[in-house]
Amino acid sequence: MATIKRTVEVELSTTGLDAQGRPQRVPLAVAEDGSTVTVAAPPAIEPEREGVHMLINIGPQLPATHGVLRLVLELDGETVVRCIPHIGYLHCGFEKIGEYRQYNQIIPWTDREDYLNSIGNNVAFVLGAERLFGIETTERCTVLRVIAMELSRIISHLVWLGTTCIDIGAYTPFLWLFQERENVYALLERWVGARLTTTATRVGGMAADLPNGWTEQLQTFITLFPKTLDEVDRVLTKNGIWVGRTIGLGAMTAEEALNYGLSGPMLRASGVAYDVRKDFPYLDYETYDFEVPVGTNGDVYDRYLVRFEELRQSVRILEQALRRLPDGPVNIDDHRVILPPKSKATSEMESMIHHFKQVMEGPRPPIGESYVAVESPKGEKGYYMVSDGTSKPVRWRIRPPSFVNLSAIPRMVEGHLLSDVIAINASIDIVMGEIDR
Amino acid sequence: MNPTVDALREKFGAAIQRADVVWGETTVVVERTRVAEIVRWLHDDPGQSYVYLSDVTAVENRDVEQPLEVVWHLRSLAFRRFLRLKALLPKGTPLEVPSVFPIFKSADWMERECFDMFGVKFVGHPDLRRLLMWEGYKEGFPLRKDIPLLGRFSRAEQLRQALAANPEARYSKEELSIADAFEDLPQDMRARLRSGEKTGE
pLDDT of residue B201: 38
Q: Is B22 in CB contact (< 8 Å) with chain A?
A: yes
Best mutation target among B25, B54, B70, B190 (most A Cβ atoms within 10 Å) is B54
Query: What mean pLDDT do residues A369-375 have?
Result: 92
Lowest average pLDDT, out of A49-53, A286-290, B123-127, goes to: A49-53
Residue B190 has pLDDT above 90, yes or no: no
Please, which residues 40-99 of chain B have a Cβ atom closer than 8 Å to chain A? 51-55, 57, 59-62, 71, 73, 75, 77, 80, 82, 84
Lowest average pLDDT, out of A121-125, B62-66, B163-167, B177-181, goes to: B177-181
What distance in Å separates residue B78's CA from the closest CA in chain A? Answer: 9
Residue B56 has pLDDT above 90, yes or no: yes
Alpha helices, DSSP H, located in A193-299: 214-236, 240-246, 254-259, 265-269, 276-279
Which residues in chain A are closer than 8 Å to B143, comparing Cβ atoms? 95-96
- Give the strand pairing for A14-17 and B81-89: unpaired
Q: Is A259 in CB contact (< 8 Å) with chain B?
A: yes
Which residues in chain A are closer than 8 Å to B25, comparing Cβ atoms? 369-371
pLDDT band at A248 (very low <50, low <70, confident <90, very high): confident
pLDDT of residue B85: 92
Residue A409 has pLDDT above 60, yes or no: yes
Q: Is A83 in CB contact (< 8 Å) with chain B?
A: no
Residue A382 contacts residue A113 (beta carbons within 8 Å): no
Query: What mean pLDDT do residues B168-180 have?
Result: 53
Q: Which of B24, B59, B77 sits opposite A386 (nearest CB)?
A: B59
Residues A291, B137: Cα–Cα separation, whole Å = 47
Share of chain B above pLDDT 70, in %: 84
Residue A178 has pLDDT above 50, yes or no: yes
User: In what side-by-side order are the strands of the sheet with A395-399?
Assistant: A368-376, A379-387, A395-399
Q: Do B53 and A261 touch (CB under 8 A)?
A: yes
3 state DSSP class of A383: strand
Which residues in chain B are closer than 8 Å to A411, comparing Cβ atoms? 105
Q: Which of A131, A384, A408 sits opposite B55 (nearest CB)?
A: A384
Whole-number mean pLDDT of chain B?
A: 83
Query: What mean pLDDT do residues B94-115 have?
Result: 91
Q: Do A395 and B53 touch (CB under 8 A)?
A: no
Residues A204, A125: Cα–Cα separation, whole Å = 11
Q: Which amino acid is at A311?
A: L
pLDDT of residue B199: 47
Q: Is A49 in CB contact (< 8 Å) with chain B?
A: no
The tens digit of pLDDT for each residue in B5-49 reads 888 888 888 888 888 988 889 999 999 898 998 999 999 988 888
Q: What is the ipTM of this complex?
A: 0.82
Is the entire prediction scored with pTM above 0.90?
no
Residue A412 contacts residue A405 (beta carbons within 8 Å): no
Q: Do A395 and B59 touch (CB under 8 A)?
A: yes
Residue A294 contacts residue A268 (beta carbons within 8 Å): yes
Residues B132, A25: Cα–Cα separation, whole Å = 49
Which residues in chain A are closer than 8 Å to B73, comparing Cβ atoms? 371, 382, 384, 399
What distance in Å separates residue A216's CA from the closest CA in chain B? Answer: 38
